[in-house]
Structure 1
Amino acid sequence: MACMYPAPSKAPEILYPYIMDEMKKLFETESDPIANAANAAATLGFLLNDLNWAGFYLLKNDELVLGPFWGRPAVTRIKMGSGVCGSAAEKRETLIVPDVHQFPGHIACDLYSNSEIVIPLIKNDTLIGVLDIDSPELDRFKQIDQTYLEEIAKLILEYITF
């Protein structure tokens, strides 16, 4: 059983490696993909500052379907190309949106979400889904978050087979 403590620092260069180490500890002791994805979402939600949602949408029959998450209830299905998640999935590239209210076609799940980062989950050139993270703060996500969260997505795909 893992015991998670508050992050040792808010500095991204300390915080993100700590998050990756904590995730590895969780993943190395469990093989179930749903349990690991749930713990990955909870780890991000618990340890990153200023979030109100972190979780997965998984590609099923050409649409994104809600997977394990941390936060308030969310939209359960998103069409490819729709909203931030569907756009990131369709483009197969990370999207950082400083103000979701300015994003054409934004899907409002939580009225408190103001910024968002979505990282496509791609394994062996196959789109698996996306890692979606929302914040109530405007312009919460920066390039450094993208860099580290893309590494976390690779770690997740290394241990979790959806």
Structure 2
Amino acid sequence: MVEVSNLYPEDKKELYTLLNSQLKALLDNEPDVIPGLANASALLMGALKDINWSGFYLMKHGELLLGPFQGRTACVHIAVGRGVCGTAVLKDEVQLVPDVHEFPGHIACDSASRSEIVIPIHDGKDIAGVLDIDSPLPDRFDETDKEGLTEFVTILEEYLEW
């Protein structure tokens, strides 16, 4: 069996250009949030190296609720301001965490996770949820990941009906 990740470029900028193009194709003519996010999480899990969780939390009743994901079981409810995901919502900004064990209030859903990136998703001016990606490696995510994944989220915001 061929590993899916072997089919993607090593260069991160090229990788994100390809991923974002593939995401647009997956979302074309399918604006429903659940299948869109399910395919988006599967796309990321298959393409990004050294990650152990890729998924979404959606705002519901003033908190984050687990949405489509790939990986081990996860926390279901996250309060705004709690952990990396809740902090991303509270501050309305990307959280790039080199070592989750040094992040105050980190929620350890998977003890194997060492680094994390969380990008807020907007529906107009409101936060609709977050994209959350974990890695078992410390310092896995960098500015290129931040830029590529922010564009990935922008595509989700534009294509899906929140």
Task: Identify whether the pair has TM-score above 0.5, normalized to the shorter chain.
Answer: yes
Corresponding residue for 2:46?
A: 46
Report the Cα distance in structure 2 between the residues aligned to 1:127 and 1:30, rounded to whole angstroms: 21
Amino acid corresponding to residue 103 of structure 2 in structure 1: F
- 1:21-56 alpha-carbon deviations (Å, 9 max, x no partner): 111111114333211110000101110111100111
Matching of residue 93 in structure 1 with residue 93 in structure 2 = yes
Report the Cα distance in structure 1 between the residues aligned to 2:99 and 2:118, rounded to whole angstroms: 13
Checking the alignment, whether the CA contact within 8 Å between 1:10 and 1:49 is kept in structure 2 is no
Q: Identity over aligned residues, as a percent? A: 47
Checking the alignment, whether the CA contact within 8 Å between 1:89 and 1:120 is kept in structure 2 is yes
Report the Cα distance in structure 2 between the residues aligned to 1:83 and 1:40, rounded to whole angstroms: 23
Question: Which one scores higher on RCO, CA 8 angstroms, separation ≥ 6?
Answer: 2
Count residues in correspondence.
159
Displacement of 1:96 in angstroms is: 0.4
Secondary structure of residue in 2 paired with 1:43: helix
Secondary structure of residue in 1 paired with 2:7: coil
Report the Cα distance in structure 2 between the residues aligned to 1:69 and 1:138, rounded to whole angstroms: 21
Secondary structure of residue in 1 paired with 2:149: helix
Write the mapping of 1:1-162 to structure 2, written as runs, cut at 5 A.
6-162=6-162
- 1:31-89 alpha-carbon deviations (Å, 9 max, x no partner): 33211110000101110111100111001111000000011110000000000000011
Aligned in 2, Cα 1:34/1:95: closer, same or farther, shift over 3 Å?
A: same
| Structure 1 gaps, min length 5 | none
Aligned in 2, Cα 1:5/1:51: closer, same or farther, shift over 3 Å?
A: closer
Secondary structure of residue in 2 paired with 1:106: coil
| Ranges of 4+ aligned residues in structure 1 off by more than 4 Å | none
Checking the alignment, whether the CA contact within 8 Å between 2:8 and 2:47 is kept in structure 1 is no
Checking the alignment, whether the CA contact within 8 Å between 1:7 and 1:15 is kept in structure 2 is no
Report the Cα distance in structure 2 between the residues aligned to 1:133 and 1:42, rounded to whole angstroms: 12
Checking the alignment, whether the CA contact within 8 Å between 1:57 and 1:132 is kept in structure 2 is yes
Checking the alignment, whether the CA contact within 8 Å between 2:5 and 2:48 is kept in structure 1 is no
Secondary structure of residue in 1 paired with 2:54: strand
Of stretches 70-79 and 30-39 in structure 1, the one that deviates more from structure 2 is 30-39
Scaled by the length of structure 2, the TM-score of the pair is 0.94
| Structure 2 gaps, min length 5 | none
Report the Cα distance in structure 2 between the residues aligned to 1:34 and 1:123, rounded to whole angstroms: 15
Scaled by the length of structure 1, the TM-score of the pair is 0.94
Checking the alignment, whether the CA contact within 8 Å between 2:41 and 2:68 is kept in structure 1 is yes
Checking the alignment, whether the CA contact within 8 Å between 1:7 and 1:18 is kept in structure 2 is no
